[in-house]
Copies of this chain bind each other. A is one copy, B any other.
Amino acid sequence: MAEPSIRPNEAALRELLDGPWAHVRQKARDHLRGELFAPVAGLDVEQHRDRVMEQLAAIAATEIPGYGFSSAYGGSDDVGASVVAFEMLVCDLSLMVKVGVQWGLFGGAIQALGTEEHHARYLPRVISLRLPGCFAMTETGHGSDVQRLRTTARYDPRTEEFVVHTPDDDARKDYIGNAARDGMAAVVFAQLITGDTNHGVHALLVPVRDADGHPLPGVRIEDCGLKAGLNGVDNGRLWFDHVRVPRTALLNRYGDVAPDGSYTSPIDNPDRRFFTMLGTLVRGRISVAGGAGTAAKAALAIAIRYADARRQFERPDGGEVALLDYRAHQRRLLPALARSYALHFAQEELVRTLDDKSRESFSDQDQRKLESRAAGIKAVSTWHATQTIQTCREACGGAGYLAQNRLPQLKADTDVFTTFEGDNTVLLQLVAKGLLTHYRDSFGALDPKEMARFVAGQFLGVVIERTAARPLIERLVDATRRRGESDIRDRGWQLDLLEDREKHVVEGLARRLRRTGSGTAAFEAFNDAQDHVLKAGRAHVDRVVLEAFVAAIDRCADPETKEVLDRLCDLYVLSVVEEDRAWFLEHGRLTAPRAKAVTEAVNSLCAELRPHAVTLASAFGLPDEWLAAPIALGAEEARQEEQRVGG
């Protein structure tokens, strides 16, 4: 490994990565340490749940739970901080998820879907953890298709109560965090029925346990049992047998029932109402994307440090080769590192938008855009985490398989991130749908029937959704076009390439869907195009992520650091292009020699960035205490030293 001519400044990197909520990150680093928050392996389920509950209680005593809530109830009105604090909880992902369930999903739903009375009554107890709760949306039969869930809440005007009921096992609430052991109440999503009218899915606050922790009458609770990971979270199943709750249990911001049973809503269209309600819960997806991102960073920090220290096979000039000096090893880890940076900045942009104080007055279109972006980043980030942690495990060999080195737990815990808060395959379709302008301003369910209806509509042409960095991007692209520049590392060319791909894929999709009939034929047409739909979603996210990376580099003040980040961004975008270079070749966007040049550039960039890899991974700022893996914390170096001295 040659001595690099430039060096990134770790402090400058850290500052850029920490971003606007640096103080929240630093607080987490300072406070979440010591015995209570040290990663541990090998606990049985009950011990693990106990430990996580203990950690949760300790966090309840800090300002963290309040970040996302109104100051009127002890919060600090800082939604961005709540998301950032969540993503820092990598010392145990069970804790991360439990925090998310209690204060993000359960508390968040009360805040977003309830009104003043609910807030005053519940939020202080939610924040303080005196009221642990569940977010009871998913049913066994309907996970992805929330609009069709089958729990009912039927209004009884005689007693002014709702009767919450689970008709059968298909409609039981499933995988519900906090349900199996700790939850006292649940926000239950159910079909709201008054008289003979079904008003669609609404949420109600339903108590599920008494003060002694026993299920209340009519409530049946079952433990989901052992899972691949996240066993510190008590996921469970809930059944309601004609459980009566007062009329005011309805979280009535988007739909209310008067004592006489008459239904009112500020939103007439039931689809629009449903998706507006769901849209208020967008924070959950954004949080999961952030949490997956941190897990991937932790795995990379472990694997990169180990690869820098670990040696295997002799060099011709003596000594043994560090794993990270092998091209194959660089190719496994460094593009993943580049993507982690890229996704980090895209995530930050998403959190800024979520946190935008003007969001209350967002247009429907802006809100849809945020939801679509959240869906896309969540899908890509969680897949990235799954793949990256897997790669890191393999890159650490047998050592990576030992629980003490943390990779097994990171892998097992994050595995379900690709599924929860929306299955990734479903989410990418949601993104694609948002890109079809015809749909942009409409509300509609994401089922084949709805998608097929698109066939009858007019497609108005692709409008590239603007990211925050759009003026900068346009300047770069324009400059390149003027110069006729085509260097493979030219940023304008890269940006243009990804934008062009998105446009072409989405336009092609629109044309394709319009060619078809209706009914069964339309479903077949939609289904035939499903891989095209997923590709459109993916192409969009890749472009958005690149733009966020470009904008972040523009914010970096240190020139050498900026130069290294520029190379890292090259590596990100060129490895994205390399992965999909068949498409670029098939569509005449790259010639064969240029496609080969992309591969060569990825190789060169790996070699150029190799000397900075440890610094780049360390700049994520995950304390050694959280990484906890001996192989990342000097064990390998110590053994080599012992051998050197002994031999």
Residue A419 interfacial (CB < 8 Å):
yes
Since A316-B522, A327-B531 are in contact, a sample of 15 more A-B pairs with Cβ atoms closer than 8 Å, ordered by chain A residue number, is: A42-B225, A141-B643, A143-B397, A145-B314, A145-B320, A227-B401, A229-B401, A313-B447, A314-B447, A315-B448, A315-B449, A316-B520, A394-B418, A408-B415, A581-B582
- Give the residue among A320, A419, A519 with the most B Cβ atoms within 10 A: A419
Complexed CA–CA distance, A70 and B537 (Å):
60
Residues of B within 8 A of A167 (CB): 643, 646-647
Which chain A residues (93-143) contact chain B, with CB distance < 8 Å? 138, 140-143
Complexed CA–CA distance, A321 and B450 (Å):
13
User: In the assembly, how many copies of this chain are there?
Assistant: 2
Residue A76 interfacial (CB < 8 Å):
no
* Majority secondary structure, A binding face: helix
Known contacts A313-B447, A531-B331; A401 and B415 CB within 8 A of each other: yes
**Ordered nearest first, which 8 A-B pairs have the shortest CB separation?**
A228-B408, A226-B403, A313-B447, A582-B582, A327-B530, A585-B585, A170-B643, A586-B592
Residues of B within 8 A of A420 (CB): 398
CB–CB A226/B585 < 8 A: no
CB–CB B42/A45 < 8 A: yes
Complexed CA–CA distance, A581 and B592 (Å):
12
A104 to chain B, nearest CB (A): 18
Residue A348 interfacial (CB < 8 Å):
no
Residue A222 interfacial (CB < 8 Å):
no
A631 to chain B, nearest CB (A): 11
CB–CB A642/B412 < 8 A: no
A382 to chain B, nearest CB (A): 10
Contact pick for A390, options B171, B390, B447, CB 8 Å: B390
8 of the cross-chain contacts (CB-CB < 8 Å) are A143-B397, A170-B640, A225-B404, A315-B449, A316-B448, A317-B520, A582-B595, A586-B595
Chain A 294-332 near chain B by CB (<8 Å), digits 1 or 0: 000000000000000000111111001100011111010
- Give the residue among A142, A227, A229 with the most B Cβ atoms within 10 A: A227
Residue A500 interfacial (CB < 8 Å):
no
A positions within 8 Å CB-CB of B:
41-42, 44-45, 138, 140-145, 148, 150, 167-171, 174-175, 224-229, 312-317, 320-321, 325-329, 331, 386, 390, 393-394, 397-398, 400-404, 407-408, 411-412, 415-416, 418-420, 423-425, 446-449, 452, 518-520, 522-523, 527-528, 530-531, 534, 581-582, 585-588, 592, 595-596, 599, 603, 639-640, 642-643, 646-647
CB–CB A168/B331 < 8 A: no
CB–CB A394/B419 < 8 A: yes
Complexed CA–CA distance, A331 and B412 (Å):
24
CB–CB A398/B312 < 8 A: no
Contact pick for A585, options B317, B402, B592, CB 8 Å: B592
Complexed CA–CA distance, A401 and B407 (Å):
18
Complexed CA–CA distance, A582 and B534 (Å):
20
CB–CB A398/B581 < 8 A: no
Known contacts A312-B142, A326-B530; A226 and B321 CB within 8 A of each other: no
Q: In the complex, what residue of chain B is closest to A315 when comparing beta carbons?
A: B523
Complexed CA–CA distance, A329 and B429 (Å):
13
CB–CB A527/B325 < 8 A: yes
CB–CB B321/A448 < 8 A: yes
CB–CB A225/B531 < 8 A: no
Known contacts A316-B448, A316-B449, A581-B582; A393 and B411 CB within 8 A of each other: no
CB–CB A419/B390 < 8 A: no
A615 to chain B, nearest CB (A): 22
Residues of B within 8 A of A424 (CB): 394
Complexed CA–CA distance, A120 and B417 (Å):
55
Q: In the complex, what residue of chain B is closest to A142 when comparing beta carbons?
A: B312
Residues of B within 8 A of A170 (CB): 639-640, 642-643
A457 to chain B, nearest CB (A): 15
CB–CB A228/B531 < 8 A: no
- Give the residue among A169, A327, A530, A587 with the most B Cβ atoms within 10 A: A327
CB–CB A312/B143 < 8 A: yes
Known contacts A226-B42, A527-B326; A592 and B587 CB within 8 A of each other: yes
